[in-house]
A and B are shown apart, each in its own frame.
Chain A
Amino acid sequence: MLEIRDLAFRYSGADRSALSGVSLNAARGKILGLLGPNGAGKTTLISHLSGLLQVQQGRISIGGQPLAEIRRATPTRVAVAPQEYAFYPMLTVNENLECFASAGGLGGTRKQQRIAACLTFAQLERYAKTRAERLSGGLKRRLNLAIALLPEPDFILLDEPTVGVDPQSRAFLLDAVKTLAKNGAAVIYTSHYMEEIEAIADSVVIIDDGKVLREGTLDELLGGGEAQVYLGVDGVRGASLNELLAGFGASTRTGEDWLVTLSAGKTPLALLVALEQVGGKIRFAEFGRSNLEQIFMALTKHSLRD
């Protein structure tokens, strides 16, 4: 289990913290979806896990042992597949794998075995002798993933691994990630594509402004069986609307629309009737569980980020 407790970090010269008291867990065999708008602190968190930033405050540990100690002993136990194509474009696929395998301390037969295994896993065998710069976007993403898997890490951090790829490559990559977890690795997966997270994540952490806004399993986040109404209404607003909605359960405003989690005994029909009775005109109403995007937007607000 990878545990992050109360992690805080401030870049030198910055007027505010990039991370403030972030806590989360990533268990082996599970996929943790890490969500956050641009500038939320994801990159800072990833840099900590990849050993590029030292912990200023808080703790990162694996099985109770500090990450820094683990990285000193076995730096490849935690692998990061960054968002960029972090390999050498002028080298072939095989040469890149050779280079990074050696950098990861692999040698001899073991190195050749791992290169072969990663080529197969990412289905790159046909491209082994192709220069990386000549690969398509999807193939480059697969190479990026294959390099991360070379040292057989226990903890894998994938930073937006499907950006700019076609649906086929995306489906392949998502299946590959699920396989990694099934094989026993702990996977932390960041993406701006909510449907990807919904499709593969066992649990989700939403961060913004360097803080964890919500953490839980997908079921917990998506309502956990509670009835929710997502609606748009005109003709009634302000305190009277708040008061009315509060009578039916917890409400969250998302832009001009509202997400109401109904209290026990309350029905959506009663809510819509009550709104009409006070002069409200229902623009639309959706009943059921929220999707991740609605929750994400509700939590992180709609304002544009840097």
Chain B
Amino acid sequence: MLLALIKKELLALIRDVHGLAALFLMPAVFIIIMSLALKDVYDPPVKTLPYAIENLDNKDFSTTLIDEWAKRHGEALPEYTDWSSQVQSGKLSYVLVIEKGFSDALVSAKSDGEIQLRLITDPGLEGGVFAANKAELIMIASEMRARALLAASRMAMTAPRGRPGAAPIVDAEVNVSAQGMVSAERLATGSRPSAVQQNVPAWLVFGMFFVVASLSNLFLQERECGALARLASFGVPVSMMIWSKALPYLVINGMQAALMLTVGVWVMPVLGGDALSLAGIHWGALVFILLAVSTAAIGLALALASLVRTQAQAATMGPVVNILMAAIGGVMVPKFVMPDVMQRIAEFSPMNWGLEGMLAVLLRGSDMGGVLLPSAKLMGFALLMMLIAVLLFRRRVG
């Protein structure tokens, strides 16, 4: 009897193609995506980040520093007159500013504590990469300073007695470290980068796209019981049926956003975490990108709902599509820790467009200009999905 029941269970499993896909294919795809995405996580891609240098010193030591930095990080991009906005938008990961007195300060036995090297980074630059770059800059500058001081000391020792100029250097008084002349800062945005500042946009976008599962399940239920066919026979136009589904989910997405932001701003500090900072953000841009994410999510939900044939398909497809988009799109693994290839693939995920737009507002303090491109992509995607939904909807209703 047990064997017969086991056989039944196995046959049921084998014949549930979508269930099998969720059981076997999804973990396999997930392993591939996550492995590729996390490939560089223990070897941060500091060498490949786009950067520029502003050299105000223009002396030998600054040139040496630039050469040394280029050996480790590749050539700098051409100097931008307005590098600030490039860094702000994340197009440049950082700018290394070499102040005018750098070369003199480097060989000065007594450091006056003035900052000579400034590393100004993208507000969203990952903490590890930020710290690694700063430490490397201190190390290179310290090495140069040590070599320069040593050379000066040797010159002083070998100089003819009584000759003026080369002051004797007493080791105990000299600080070889260049730490005091190096500063690193994220470009000020009004928002303090923190885990919550990065996580809220990511999971909010993910959550908003989860309407796919809910909407398509209800659609299938309506279709299978004949309620949609009945509405059609009552003369309800397809466009109205679609709108009647889209608008409530637009409101739901809005409520999700309000809830997630509330959790970030007020609940996280109560639980001992960092608070989400909304100080100084452009509210119009935030609402606009949220609207774009919502239309894309609803468009995708409607297209999928029209595409699938059974509730089993809807129950599997929705979550699978969501999770894969999240894995590829930088929600589960931040895009900046992904290798180049995966970063390029991420740019095809609508979740990534939404995430980039949200990060632009919440992390980089962008205004409308900063969210226009991701919003346009999202709305274009939404339009395409709606078109598919309308084309398939009528057939499915019948």
Where the two chains meet, the residues of A that have a C-beta atom closer than 8 Å to any C-beta of B are: 47, 50-53, 71, 75-76, 78-80, 82-89, 100, 103-105, 147, 151
Of the listed stretches B84-92, B228-236, B250-258, B270-278, chain A binds: B228-236
Closest to B230 in A: A86
In the complex, which residue of chain A has the Cβ closest to the Cβ of B229? A52
Q: What are 12 A-B pairs at a CB distance below 8 A?
A: A50-B229, A52-B232, A71-B235, A75-B235, A80-B233, A82-B229, A84-B225, A85-B225, A86-B227, A88-B227, A100-B231, A147-B230
A100-B231, A103-B236, A104-B235 known, 16 other contacts, Cβ within 8 Å: A51-B235, A52-B229, A52-B232, A52-B233, A52-B398, A53-B398, A75-B233, A75-B234, A80-B230, A82-B226, A87-B225, A88-B225, A88-B227, A100-B230, A103-B234, A147-B230
Q: How far is the CB of A163 from chain B (nearest CB, A)?
A: 13
CB distance from A61 to the nearest CB of B (A): 18
Task: Kindly state the separation between the CA atoms of A52 and B234 in the bound complex, as whole angstroms.
Answer: 11
The A-contacting residues of B in range 232-248, CB under 8 angstroms, are: 232-236
Sorting the interface of chain B by its residue count into under 10, 10 to 19, 20 to 34 or 35 or more gives 10 to 19
Residue of B with least CB distance to A51? B233
A100 touches B234 (CB 8 A): yes
Q: Which of A51, A78, A89, A105 contacts B232 (CB 8 A)?
A: A51
A52 contacts which of B222, B225, B227, B397 (Cβ < 8 Å)? B397
A residues less than 8 Å from B231 (CB atoms): 100, 103
Determine which residue in A50, A76, A103 has the highest number of CB atoms from chain B within 10 A of its CB, and name it.
A103
* A285 CB, min distance to chain B CBs, angstroms: 46
Interface of B is mostly: helix
Report chain B residues within 8 Å CB of A147.
230
User: Which residues of B (297-313) have their CB < 8 Å from a CB of A?
Assistant: none
Residue of A nearest to B398 (CB): A52
Complex CA distance for A210 and B197, rounded to whole angstroms: 65
Residue in A closest to B241 when the chains form the complex, CB atoms: A103
- Give the docked Cα–Cα distance between A89 and B222 (Å): 9
What is the CA–CA distance of A87 and B227 in the complex, to the nearest angstrom? 5
Least CB separation from A76: chain B residue: B234
A50-B234 Cα distance, complex, nearest whole Å: 8
Bound form: Cα–Cα A89–B235 in Å: 22
Chain A neighbourhood of B222, CB < 8 A? 88
Measured CB to CB, the nearest residue on chain B to A151 is B234
1/0 per residue, CB under 8 A from A, across B206-239: the answer is: 0000000000000000101111011111111000
Q: A52-B397, A53-B398 are in contact. Are A105 and B235 (CB under 8 A)?
A: yes
Look across to chain B and name the residue whose beta carbon is closest to the beta carbon of A49.
Answer: B233
What A residues does B236 contact at CB under 8 A? 103
Tell me the bound Cα distance from A76 to B236 in angstroms: 10
Do B225 and A104 touch (CB < 8 A)? no
Q: Determine the distance from Cα of A111 to Cα of B43 in the docked complex, in whole angstroms.
A: 69
Min CB–CB distance A141 → chain B (angstroms): 13
Considering the complex of A and B, which 5 residue pairs feature the smallest CB-CB distances, nearest first?
A75-B235, A86-B226, A50-B233, A84-B226, A52-B398
Q: Is the CB of A47 within 8 A of B226?
A: no
- B227 touching A79, Cβ below 8 Å: no
Contact bitstring B120-137, A, C-beta under 8 A = 1, else 0: 000000000000000000
Kindly list chain B residues whose C-beta atoms are within 8 Å of the C-beta of A50: 229, 232-233
Min CB distance, A188 to chain B, in Å?
A: 14
Cα distance, A86 to B308, chains bound together (Å) = 20
What is the CA–CA distance of A281 and B231 in the complex, to the nearest angstrom? Answer: 59
Contacts of A83 in B (CB 8 A): 226
- In the complex, which residue of chain B has the Cβ closest to the Cβ of A101? B234
Name which residue of chain A comes closest to B228, CB basis.
A86
Complex CA gap A52/B231 in Å reads 11
Q: How long is the Cα–Cα vector from A78 to B235 in the complex, in angstroms?
A: 10
Cα A105 to Cα B240 with chains together (Å): 13
Taken together as a complex, chains A and B put the C-alpha atoms of A57 and B354 apart, in Å, by 50
> How close is A42's CB to chain B, nearest CB, in angstroms?
15
